């Protein structure tokens, strides 16, 4: 990636895309990607060395992570990063420090992969931070400097952060008709009591392998408290599914888990989220990926995911009372209109209708509000009924 000084490296990117695809294929088969990541990290280091010995300026091309270099691909149906790169070179006064930081973090990732250990993004900061000999200059002044470098590396090497053995905080849980192996332990997710399995940050195939799956689909709910309602009512058992939640906006670990359940086990992913702009946005991230992490979309987004509720039409559909209503404020309306203008919502009539209806209603509704009917209405009636009406799901 680092050999040419072109601003547009389309040709190279295409090859890289192709090889990334190969990687994905191989990963699915082999269950581990450690060797490949090592090769990428070594390739980065070698290109720098080669340039140095060839008396060329050492430099790295980093694809640009900004709205301007991101677009929705209607064919793949997720948000993709464009081809524009920015260069980071050693002899540029404004880039030298970031160049050094990039190689420093890369070398720490190499050590992690070699030792088969993982580190948090905070730990990476501390691992890579030191005072440069003979000066008072620190390699990193704060984690705000190391976090973007990790993302730089992900995108430059086309390796997920998790493949670089780096993790962030985790949230979310899973329970249901799935048996899998995590770090050598076989876990039967039908036998996890009320607590469930805490989805870790790294769920790559070298850590987690799926073994047996009786589930027909994955039901993803927004919040822990809703998830517990479904767990307590043993919904996963009655309806033969896997229940996940993301504690609000799902972490990368949760998104990657949904992706793998869908991709490898061919399970449909259906989402039950709040009827508000935040719920729409969570759905959008699960389905199309996010703008910030567009370079991960191909390995995290689930374009086939479906939104089963709560819908702006459920108030009438289920004869709900005024007690479920939460008035929209100005910010909700602004946010709803923004979402409406996203290209991946804009083209879709049912979504336009859905969002406009919310604005017209003048109120939003939470999944938890459904219990104003009765406590188990959501598990006994609402969700089973919604599941039987795929035509009214939102795509």
Binding of a second copy at residue 187 (CB under 8 A)? yes
Binding of a second copy at residue 375 (CB under 8 A)? yes
**CB contact at 8 A, 130 and 172:** no
Residue whose CB is less far from a second copy, 124 or 394: 124
List 131, 304, 338, 389, residue binding a second copy (CB under 8 A): 131
List 228, 255, 287, 299, residue binding a second copy (CB under 8 A): 228
Residue whose CB is less far from a second copy, 32 or 392: 32
Smallest gap from residue 278 Cβ to a second copy (A): 15
Binding of a second copy at residue 138 (CB under 8 A)? yes
Q: Smallest Cα–Cα separation from 304: which of 393, 386, 378?
A: 393
- Using the rule CB under 8 A, give the single segment among 10-18, 38-46, 124-132, 214-222 that binds a second copy: 124-132
- Using the rule CB under 8 A, give the single segment among 91-99, 170-178, 268-276, 280-288 that binds a second copy: 170-178
Q: How many residues bind a second copy (CB under 8 A)?
A: 60
Q: What CA dihedral angle connects 179, 181, 182 and 187, to 10 degrees?
A: 40
- Choose the catalytic residue: 78, 126, 313, 342: 126
**CB contact at 8 A, 261 and 242:** yes
DSSP-based three-state secondary structure for 214 = coil
List 366, 382, 387, 394, residue binding a second copy (CB under 8 A): 366
Binding of a second copy at residue 129 (CB under 8 A)? yes
Smallest gap from residue 257 Cβ to a second copy (A): 10
Binding of a second copy at residue 5 (CB under 8 A)? no
**CB contact at 8 A, 321 and 372:** yes
3 state SS for 324-383: HCEECCHHHHHHHHHHHHCHHHHCCHHHHHHHHHHHHHCEEECHHHHHHCCCCHHHHHHH
How far does Cα 364 stand from its chain's mean position? 26
List 75, 94, 144, 184, residue binding a second copy (CB under 8 A): 184
- Integer Cα distance of 196 and 317 in angstroms: 32
List 10, 14, 92, 225, residue binding a second copy (CB under 8 A): 225
Q: Smallest Cα–Cα separation from 60: which of 130, 160, 155?
A: 155
Q: Give φ, ψ of 170 to 5 degrees.
A: -115, 155
Binding of a second copy at residue 176 (CB under 8 A)? no
DSSP-based three-state secondary structure for 140 = coil
List 17, 263, 368, 381, residue binding a second copy (CB under 8 A): 368
Binding of a second copy at residue 193 (CB under 8 A)? yes
Residue whose CB is less far from a second copy, 194 or 331: 194
Binding of a second copy at residue 192 (CB under 8 A)? yes
Residue whose CB is less far from a second copy, 254 or 358: 254
Binding of a second copy at residue 380 (CB under 8 A)? no
Residue whose CB is less far from a second copy, 174 or 394: 174
- Using the rule CB under 8 A, give the single segment among 38-46, 74-82, 113-121, 302-310 that binds a second copy: 113-121
List 199, 242, 305, 355, residue binding a second copy (CB under 8 A): 199
Q: Smallest Cα–Cα separation from 326: which of 279, 286, 386, 266?
A: 279
Q: What's the Cα-to-Cα distance from 142 to each of 128, 152, 162, 219, rounded to whole Å?
A: 11, 16, 22, 39
Smallest gap from residue 246 Cβ to a second copy (A): 13
CA atoms within a 13 Å half-sphere pointing along the CA-CB vector of 157: 29
How far does Cα 219 stand from its chain's mean position? 17
126 is catalytic: yes
- Integer Cα distance of 378 and 372 in angstroms: 10
**CB contact at 8 A, 365 and 315:** yes
Residue ranges that bind a second copy, judged by CB under 8 A? 111-112, 115, 117-120, 122-123, 126-127, 129-131, 138, 167-171, 173, 181-187, 191-202, 207-208, 223-225, 228-229, 232, 321-324, 366, 368-372, 375-376
Active site residue ranges: 126
């Amino acid at each position: 990636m680092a050999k040419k000084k072109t601003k547009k490296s389309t040709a190279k990117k295409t090859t890289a895309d192709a090889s990334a695809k190969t990687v994905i294929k191989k990963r699915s088969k082999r269950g581990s990607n450690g060797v490949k990541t090592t090769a990428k990290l070594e390739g980065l280091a070698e290109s720098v060395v080669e340039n140095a010995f060839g008396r060329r300026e050492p430099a790295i091309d980093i694809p640009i992570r900004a709205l301007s270099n991101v677009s929705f691909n209607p064919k793949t149906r997720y948000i993709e990063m464009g081809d524009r790169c920015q260069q980071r070179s050693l002899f540029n006064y404004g880039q030298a420090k970031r160049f050094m930081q990039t190689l420093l973090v890369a070398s720490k990732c190499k050590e992690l992969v070699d030792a088969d250990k993982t580190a948090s993004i905070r730990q990476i900061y501390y691992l890579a931070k030191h005072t440069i000999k003979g000066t008072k200059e620190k390699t990193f002044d704060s984690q705000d400097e190391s976090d973007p470098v990790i993302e730089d590396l992900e995108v430059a090497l086309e390796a997920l952060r998790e493949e670089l053995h780096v993790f962030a905080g985790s949230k979310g849980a899973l329970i249901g008709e799935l048996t899998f192996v995590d770090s050598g332990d076989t876990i039967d997710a039908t036998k996890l009591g009320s607590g469930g399995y805490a989805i870790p940050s790294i769920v790559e195939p070298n850590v987690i392998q799926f073994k047996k799956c009786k589930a027909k689909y994955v039901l993803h709910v927004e919040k822990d408290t809703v998830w517990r309602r479904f767990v307590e009512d043993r919904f996963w058992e009655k309806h033969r599914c896997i229940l996940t939640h993301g504690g609000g906006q799902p972490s990368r670990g949760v998104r990657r888990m949904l992706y793998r359940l869908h991709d490898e086990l061919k399970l449909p992913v259906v989402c039950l989220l709040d009827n508000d702009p935040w719920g729409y946005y969570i759905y959008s991230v699960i389905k199309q990926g996010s703008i910030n992490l567009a370079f991960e979309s191909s390995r995290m987004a689930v374009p086939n995911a479906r939104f089963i509720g709560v819908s702006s039409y459920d108030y009438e559909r289920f004869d709900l009372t005024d007690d479920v209503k939460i008035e929209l404020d100005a910010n909700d309306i602004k946010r709803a209109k923004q979402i409406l203008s996203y290209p991946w919502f804009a083209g879709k009539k049912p979504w336009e209708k859905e969002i406009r209806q919310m604005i017209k209603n003048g109120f939003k509704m939470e999944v938890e509000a459904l219990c104003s009917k009765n406590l188990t209405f959501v598990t006994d009636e609402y969700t089973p009924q919604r599941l039987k009406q795929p035509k009214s799901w939102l795509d």
